[in-house]
Amino acid sequence: MPRNLLAAVMMSALLAMLLSFLPSIRSNNPNAVPTFRQNQPLVLTKQNVVDLFTFLPTHYNIKRVKWEEQSIYVDLLVSENQPALLEQAYRDFYLLVHQALALTKNVQQLNFRLMEEPVDQPAKLLVAISAKRPLQEGEPIDPNDLPAIKSYVESSFQVRIDPFFHENISP
């Protein structure tokens, strides 16, 4: 019995030593992708612009995404019977800005609109915000690390709020 235990320990040690050399083995396959590598910023095109927003959890529904001349145009829609919260609109906007600037390298501007769509009428603009890529490259602040997102967005970006929205905004 002790011989079997000793043999098992020796085999385990030998196997562990051999497995420690695996990360240094290089592949000759040019299509092989390393498991651990630094993420490269995405180059946005008309073909992959929707991919950037596919898994983004926004509070309001995304109605339209358009990519044109290094600018992204995003329209979010709130239904007539849904409360429109300015704080939530700012959070959605900043989440979109964070994704667009942190994950891409060719987006220079993001234009955001929150619109209300009444039944049998054209959509009304509630909030429009524009963000430009800063001249100095740096990591944008994570949306979860902003304690006062309203004051940050209003001081950092061009914000236009429709007067009608102020009167009818939910508390």
pLDDT in tens, 9-35: 999 999 988 887 766 556 666 666 666
Alpha carbon distance 77, 142 (integer Å) = 24
**Alpha helices by DSSP H, the chain:** 2-19, 49-53, 86-103, 149-156, 163-168
Residue 37 pLDDT class (50, 70, 90 cuts): low
pLDDT digits (tens, 9 = 90+) for 62-94: 888 888 888 889 888 888 788 888 888 888 888
Chain-centroid distance of CA 138 in Å reads 16
Residue 31 placed within a domain: no
| Strand blocks (E) in 5-123 | 61-68, 71-79, 109-117
Domain count, the chain: 1
On whether residue 27 sits in a domain, the answer given is no
Instruction: Note whether residue 35 is domain-resident.
Output: no
Residue 78 identity: V
pLDDT of residue 46: 85
Kindly state the percentage of the chain with pLDDT values over 70: 80
* 145-158: pLDDT as tens digits: 777 888 888 888 88
Full domain range(s) for residue 138? 49-168
In a domain, 90, yes or no: yes
Q: Would you say residue 8 lies in a domain?
A: no
Give the SS3 label for residue 111: strand
Residue 17 falls within a domain, yes or no?
no
Q: What is the pLDDT of residue 170?
A: 41
Average pLDDT for the chain: 79
* 99 falls within a domain: yes
User: Token pair for residue 145?
Assistant: 């690390």
Query: Would the pLDDT of 127 be above 50?
Result: yes
- Is residue 102 situated within a structural domain? yes
- Which long-range contacts does 32-40 make (Cβ < 8 Å, 24+ apart)? none
